[in-house]
Structure 1
Amino acid sequence: MRTIADTLLENNISWKYYGEGWKTFVTHPSTSVYCNICNPFLYETAIMSNPTLVAAHLQDTPNLYSDIAHGTLPAVSFVKPGGLLDGHPSSSKFGLYEGFVHKIIDSVQANPALWASTAIFITTDEGGGYYDSGYIQPVDFFGDGPRIPLIVVSPYSRGGRVVHDYSDHVSLVKFIERNWSLGHITSRSRDNLPNPVELPASPYVPTNAPAIGDLFSAFQFPPAKQSAADNGNEGAAGMLPF
């Protein structure tokens, strides 16, 4: 199965998946805090059968902090904390996850050149079973599910407001594809869904369902940057969905 990694590789767009505990997972998996089921690229034959790709694109969080400090982050970065910091109640606390995120944001903002072209997306994988009365859209056979947090941190994000576009984890993929003018992963993947059209009286409920947003409504780029982003030339050059 193809992933967004294939699209990025085919278009020479740099990317990395930084997973905390990767180094110990490779050598002593039974003692590592690494979350193997959280890394989609770990299950793609085209990636894992190529040692060069593995070394270049699957790395640990010390590599993340080094790349931030030296301004060498790839264009697209995925970051996943280990089991002790991921906020899951069985092994962690959400305050520890917040601290993990806070450290990364502070590090990026300490590098003005990097901060000027970076968008950080902070989210979780699910809601922990808590009830949510929000609208759930039947986007395909597999779902969707209850709402989860998504916070956008960027010089161009519209701070202090809630974006009411209906989005999904795949909206992160749609953001990448729009920002770099890329095609869909496959002809049947969820990133083929259109952006939602919603009425003011019914936020979150697309009139053109099934539809999911590409997260661009969370930003307010200057006109020149907005045009460049739509042409795949500028915009959010570094993306860190957590």
Structure 2
Amino acid sequence: MPGRILTEHFRFMARGSGRLLGLGILASTVLTALPAGPVQAAAAGPLDQIETVVVIFAENRSFDNLYNGFPGADTFAGRPLSDFAQRDRDGSIMRELPPVWGGLTGRGVRNAVTQAMSAHLPNQPFRVDDPKGFNVPLSTLTHDLWHRFYENQMQINGGRNDMFVAWADSGAMPMSYWDGSRMRMWDVARKYTMADHFFMGAFGGSFLNHQWLACACAPFYPQADTSPAHPVISVVDPSGKALVVASNSPHSALDGVPKFVRDGNLTPDFHAVNTMQPAYQPSGNPAAAGQDARFADPGSPTTLPPQTEPTIGDRLSERSITWAWYSGAWQDVLDHGNHYPAPDFQYHHQPYNYYLNYAPDTAARQAHLRDGGLAGARFIDAIDHGTLPQVAFYKPQGNLNEHSGYADIQSGDQHIADLIDHLEKSPQWPHMLVIVTYDENGGLWDHVAPPKGDRWGPGSRIPAIIVSPYARRGYVDHTVQDTTSILKFLTERFHLRPLDGLTVRDRAIQAATGHPLGDLTTALDLHSTGK
């Protein structure tokens, strides 16, 4: 039924401007069709002390990339770097790392590190900001890396984490790391709780991991093989976990970037796992000629039909819990279009814009998809005035999100630390929980193997910091958790019906580790606020 509704609506969108009444009816139908279930008053418990939950979702950093050496955490500091040698595509240990193809730093960067300068690195992790090495500051734009669904699984290599270079497009870059102790968020983490066994919810990149935060699901493109999307269906091997390597691919990572028969955005059974664009603006795909300007061209191979799976937002709304997704620069981009290098708005970082329930002209869109303002100004205003909803998600604009290639670490670190300063002074702070984490690893190596889960993840380890009057002070939480743990916490705190993907992931982690998936509560002391 959801697939049929989705397909018919997508065809409806393409027929021109006479769709708007039908759009409202369809959105209303989907909203009311979601089974509400009995809404029962739950007995008060310790978690009820937390009245406001804030999730800050930064970009593309593995734990080891920023937090190697963090006190008390599971890092590779002090271990022989040769322990982490990478294997080539044939499984042999490489004699050295390949150069960073195209150079470690972008064009126009002062004292740029070129491809030639990065040649002949030892086969081990290397520190980007080492004063005796490349000496690149945290304020520098560095090379971006592949961070895709199948490549991430191939890099993890069954938990050995030894093929990050073999299946990368950036040579040695996955093995880079920084001295994060100079970051402001390092100090925040030391003050509160650092979760050092927190993994990205899904393998791969930002698109799927934002969807995972919204629905714990992989979006679906019905009948993709007979649709405009058929050219972006991946060709994978019988395991379903790896791409088929092309016959003309370089045999060694030392010789160049790997090539695949087809590294697409959809799985062979039509789930969207790499970046697709939303059907509603703002979208990376403009409207088709004659189409309502608020929509994206459904004839583009990368426009994903509107999704109908239930989200955590839907579950919160079922229980009349107030919530919002605050997106930095949202309204500015709608009004003026995107601008580079700032705000460098990222369309695929807005998960609810992919859903029929939040289509243009719906009340749900107006209520829940909110403008965070340029540099988060409107979000900060809500913090300062104590007007945040009970659950607030915040996505920084592109130049402030720490993504390799188009954002530097320092700017994003300062932005998030400034947000923490405001949150600590907010009228809502005494009963607040803040989770600061990253959507995914950005293709960057980490030495800790993710636990075995389900088909979709979890993927590589990422930082997660729990900030709250209730957070354990100066604590490192070793509980196995992932992005789904945020949804699990919200489900438990607000007595929600669990999303199907949350239930599947929880069971998979239980089977793999002998323990249920963590729910963030091990970072909390609900009997002493520490005030």
Q: Tell me the TM-score normalized by structure 1.
A: 0.81
Query: Any residues of structure 2 matched to 1:25-174 within 5 Å, and which?
Result: 25-31=333-339, 33-61=344-372, 62-111=377-426, 113-174=427-488
Cα distance between partner residues in 1 of 2:394 and 2:474: 24
Q: Which amino acid aligns with 2:396?
A: P
Structure 1 gap segments, 5+ residues each: 199-204, 226-242
3-state SS, counterpart of residue 419 of structure 2: helix
TM-fit CA distance, 1:50: 4.3
Paired residues of 2:452 and 2:508 also in contact (CA < 8 A): no
Alpha-carbon deviations, 1:144-202, whole Å to 9, x = none? 211000001101111212111111111111111111111112xx31345159679xxxx
Paired residues of 2:453 and 2:509 also in contact (CA < 8 A): no
3-state SS, counterpart of residue 477 of structure 2: coil
User: What fraction of aligned residue pairs are identical, expressed as a percent?
Assistant: 29
Structure 2 residue 518 is the aligned partner of structure 1 residue 213: yes
TM-fit CA distance, 1:72: 0.8
Cα distance between partner residues in 2 of 1:48 and 1:99: 34
Are residues 135 and 34 of structure 1, via their aligned partners in 2, closer, same or farther at CA, if it must alter by over 3 Å? same
TM-fit CA distance, 1:129: 2.2
TM-fit CA distance, 1:95: 1.3
Q: Which amino acid aligns with 2:370?
A: Q
Q: 1:239 matched to which residue of 2?
A: none
TM-fit CA distance, 1:90: 0.9
Q: Which runs of 4+ in 1 moved over 4 A?
A: 194-198
Are residues 195 and 155 of structure 1, via their aligned partners in 2, closer, same or farther at CA, if it must alter by over 3 Å? farther
Paired residues of 1:124 and 1:149 also in contact (CA < 8 A): yes
Paired residues of 2:402 and 2:408 also in contact (CA < 8 A): yes
3-state SS, counterpart of residue 314 of structure 2: helix
Cα distance between partner residues in 1 of 2:496 and 2:327: 25
Alpha-carbon deviations, 1:34-63, whole Å to 9, x = none? 222112111010112443222221122233
Paired residues of 2:327 and 2:395 also in contact (CA < 8 A): yes
TM-fit CA distance, 1:25: 2.2
Structure 2 residue 502 is the aligned partner of structure 1 residue 190: yes
Cα distance between partner residues in 2 of 1:49 and 1:2: 18
3-state SS, counterpart of residue 60 of structure 1: strand
3-state SS, counterpart of residue 412 of structure 2: helix
Cα distance between partner residues in 1 of 2:361 and 2:525: 40
Instruction: Determine which structure has more spread, i.e. the larger CA radius of gyration.
Output: 2
Cα distance between partner residues in 2 of 1:183 and 1:26: 34
Alignment partner for residue 327 of structure 2, among 15, 19, 32?
19
Are residues 195 and 166 of structure 1, via their aligned partners in 2, closer, same or farther at CA, if it must alter by over 3 Å? farther
3-state SS, counterpart of residue 116 of structure 1: helix
Q: What count of residue pairs does the alignment treat as equivalent?
A: 213
Cα distance between partner residues in 2 of 1:109 and 1:182: 27
Q: Which amino acid aligns with 1:130?
A: L
Paired residues of 2:338 and 2:345 also in contact (CA < 8 A): no
TM-fit CA distance, 1:109: 1.4
Q: Which amino acid aligns with 2:502?
A: R
Q: Which amino acid aligns with 2:521?
A: F
Alpha-carbon deviations, 1:3-42, whole Å to 9, x = none? 1010011110001111111012222333353222112111
TM-fit CA distance, 1:114: 1.2
Cα distance between partner residues in 2 of 1:195 and 1:97: 34
Cα distance between partner residues in 1 of 2:526 and 2:359: 37
Paired residues of 2:510 and 2:517 also in contact (CA < 8 A): no
Q: Tell me the TM-score normalized by structure 2.
A: 0.38
Structure 2 gap segments, 5+ residues each: 1-308
